Amino acid sequence: MMTAEEKKKLALFLDITGDSLRDGYKRLREAYQFSDDEIPPSSGEPEDPYLNGFPEEADTLEIVAGRIRLCTACALHRTRTQTVPGEGVNRPLVLVVGEGPGADEDLTGRPFVGKAGQLLDRMLASIGLFRNKNCFIANVVKCRPPNNREPLPEEAAACALFLTRQISILKPRVILSAGRTAVQTLLETAASLGSLRGHFTEYKGIPLLPTYHPSALLRDESKKRPAWEDLKVLRVKLSELDQAYAREAAERNP
């Protein structure tokens, strides 16, 4: 889209260039009359130019990651160093969803690799979970918000389809949402994290457990004990799911 002023400057530049190439003499011309380009009406949905022609059933994590790398649907793409699609294993036991990349993640293109990420790895390992073995780690937004601020609603909305596709492909047994932004985005709710954490709800039929973001634990050590209680709730749920899958397998193969 071009404004009338941008068109006028471009036309003048082309005129001057043409005169210089001919004989160097500036020619008189009538004043240009331009108007701004019309902006097409918005459908209310975030722009997603990279998904056209790619049916959902054809998606892979690599295809989604490629689209994320090309995405310019919100202003965050202007200040990013790298996109951070996420990392882990296919069909994980647990999908961890955080808020957004920080400085370390923006530089490396990997999620949760700074101090908060190192704490998250230790928390997960305490109940037998590892990003390279049985987890996948992602964020609500795939580009770093400036100065690590919270993502704006329009930024989260622009990335929402990417996270939805990732969840559809991964089919995790459980989702662990870390922090207020993650749970409010996934559940489309304004409820506080304090009212939601510590017990399971559901995201499209998948058990979802909200807990504190690791960065909150680094700022406030009093949250470490309730976060550990959340992890114990998660461990019990995974054990219950294992038993249920074992029973189903036994029934299918008596």
Tokens describing residue 171: 């089919």
* Residues in a beta bridge with 94: 135, 174
pLDDT attached to residue 50 = 45
Q: What is the pLDDT of residues 215-225, one digit of tens each?
A: 999 999 999 99
This prediction's pTM = 0.77
pLDDT of residue 84: 98
Q: According to DSSP H, which parts of the chain are helical?
A: 4-22, 61-70, 103-108, 115-125, 153-170, 180-187, 193-196, 214-219, 224-252
Residue 217 sits at the vertex; the CA angle it makes with 212 and 222, to the nearest 5 degrees, is: 100
Q: Identify the pLDDT of residue 253.
A: 79
* Residue 73, amino acid: A
Question: What are the residues facing 135 on neighbouring strands?
Answer: 94
CATH value of 56-252 in 3.55.50.30, 3.40.470.10, 3.40.50.300, 3.40.50.2300: 3.40.470.10
Residue 37 confidence (pLDDT): 63
Question: Residue 78 carries which DSSP code?
Answer: G
CB atoms within 10 A of CB 11: 13
Give the residue extent of every domain in the chain: 56-252
- Residue 59: the pLDDT is 79
The three-state secondary structure class of 155 is helix
List beta partners, residue 96: 137, 176
CB 114 within 8 A of CB 103: yes
What confidence score (pLDDT) does residue 165 get?
95
pLDDT at 168: 95
- Give the single-character DSSP code of 75: G
What is the SS3 assignment for 41?
A: coil
pLDDT of residue 43: 47
Ranges of the chain whose pLDDT falls below 50: 42-54
